[in-house]
Amino acid sequence: MTDLLSLTPDAARQSLTAWLTARGEPAYRIRQLTPRLWERPVPRWADATDLPAPLREALDLDFPLGRLTVAAHQVSADGTEKFLWTLADGQAVESVLIPEGKRRTLCISSQVGCALGCVFCATGTMGWSRNLTPGEIAGQVREIRLQSAERSPTNVVFMGMGEPLLNWESVDVALTILNHPEGLGIGARHITLSTVGILPKLALFAKRPEQFRLAVSLHAPTQAMRKELMPVEKKYSLPELLGALQGFERRVTLEYVLIAGKNDSLEAAEALAKIASPLAALVNLLPLHPGGAPGLSPSPRAHMLAFERRLKDRGVEAVLRRSRGLDIAAACGQLRVERELGRKVPAQEHAGVE
Ligand code: SAH
Ligand code: SF4
């Protein structure tokens, strides 16, 4: 058995071609098979009714198509949707679909949980269980495309559960699947990887020739402040991270969650401006969402606006983001699969906000 959905489209094509040849199938079959993986996906080979039945049966045996099943689907009052997926082994992850005009951005997970334990993050509080396979990562997009082609995401951000660069092997393949014309065909500029900065892997990401976008979760402009919020600072320090970003050829976005009394002072804004300016980085300011360690509260709105203003006054392009999907706990950093759920979630539970 081969998991074709965890291979790059080129590798999947090779694997299928060899299999077809061994069975004495005509050469044109490959053109019928490969689009069924990603472009015009089928839930199972049995559903590719343009193929002879015996061939479909053989495909289902040798190349079963892995699925993520919807354990819960919630729709927010603002149109944001949250999907809780159950994986083949009963583990669960979440994705969030954020519609905005013509754009449909899917926020995808790369790991079950996360080992890095940033104090403000809900996923961080659940610890790490396992890495997702490439098929499970790109499969989050595939499942929505299976539901309806029109709903297919136009943009993808690795801002769901997990640290993508701690699962680089799978994420590397998933990036190819997302972007490849015989994969999901999403433009590289519409795919954003968000990371706290796992330096050796960041170098590998930077080497990819496609114009994938990079968002770096900075959250603090000094080592001392960052260490309080993000344990990873002890391993990959801020100066090293900034050094690595200097060498990154494309424009970087810096993510900065504003936490009352921790990192939201105007001095912090000044220090952040000194970091962002030489990088010509865009700064995304995010209101703190609930779900991390107790005792942290969002920066008051007036503080956030003043912080944004100060960055702009220093010539930094900064955007204070709106929170989306808060009513269904679908905002970035709020994703955490409750342990009790697991296998017990009834299938297709729709808890939509009417
Ligand atoms: N591990 C990666 C990607 C997943 S987190 C990373 O940390 O970059 C996706 C984004 O959500 C990150 O920018 C993260 O810092 C942010 N985030 C985490 N907890 C949050 C919270 N409580 N409120 C707002 N944003 C949060
Ligand atoms: Fe992990 Fe990102 Fe959450 Fe930090 S913010 S715990 S790296 S998912």
Domains and CATH numbers, the chain: 4-62 (no CATH), 70-353 (3.20.20.70)
pLDDT surpassing 60 at residue 346: no
Closest residue (by CA) to atom 8 of ligand 1?
A: 195
Mean pLDDT, the chain, integer: 93
Average pLDDT of the residues in 247-254: 94
**Choice between 350 and 40, residue whose per-residue pLDDT is larger:** 40
State which amino acid sits at residue 32: Q
Average pLDDT of the residues in 196-220: 98
Examine the residue annotation and report whether 332 is marked as an active-site residue of this protein.
yes
End-to-end CA distance of the chain: 43
> What is the sign, positive or negative, of the torsion defined by CA atoms of 333, 338, 341, 343?
positive
pLDDT, residue 34, reads 98
Torsional class of 348: left (φ above 0), alpha (ψ -120 to 50), beta (otherwise): left
Examine the residue annotation and report whether 94 is marked as an active-site residue of this protein.
yes
Please answer whether residues 48 and 34 qualify as being in contact, where contact means their C-beta atoms are separated by less than 8 angstroms: no
pLDDT, residue 339, reads 55
Any atom of ligand 2 within 6 Å of the Cβ of 117: yes
CA of residue 30 to ligand 1 center, whole Å: 41
Q: Which ligand is nearest to the CA of 334?
A: 1
Cα–Cα distance between 277 and 296 in angstroms, integer? 28
Share of the chain above pLDDT 70, in %: 95
Cα–Cα distance between 246 and 241 in angstroms, integer? 9
β-strand pairing of 103-107 with 92-100: antiparallel
Helix (H, G, I), strand (E, B) or coil at 120: coil
Which residues contact ligand 1 via a Cβ below 6 A?
114, 120-121, 158-159, 163, 194-196, 217, 255, 257, 286, 288-289, 291-292, 332-333
Per-residue pLDDT tens for 125-152? 999 999 999 999 999 999 999 999 899 9
**Burial level of 316, CB count in 10 A (0-12/13-18/19+)?**
buried
Cα–Cα distance between 302 and 287 in angstroms, integer? 12
Residue 299: pLDDT band (50, 70, 90) is very high
Any atom of ligand 2 within 6 Å of the Cβ of 114: yes
Average pLDDT of the residues in 267-280: 98
Average pLDDT of the residues in 37-52: 97
Pocket probe for ligand 2: among 110, 126, 166, 196, the residue whose CB has the most ligand atoms within 8 Å is 196
Least confident of 50-59, 294-303, 327-336: 327-336
Any atom of ligand 2 within 6 Å of the Cβ of 124: yes
Average pLDDT of the residues in 231-258: 96
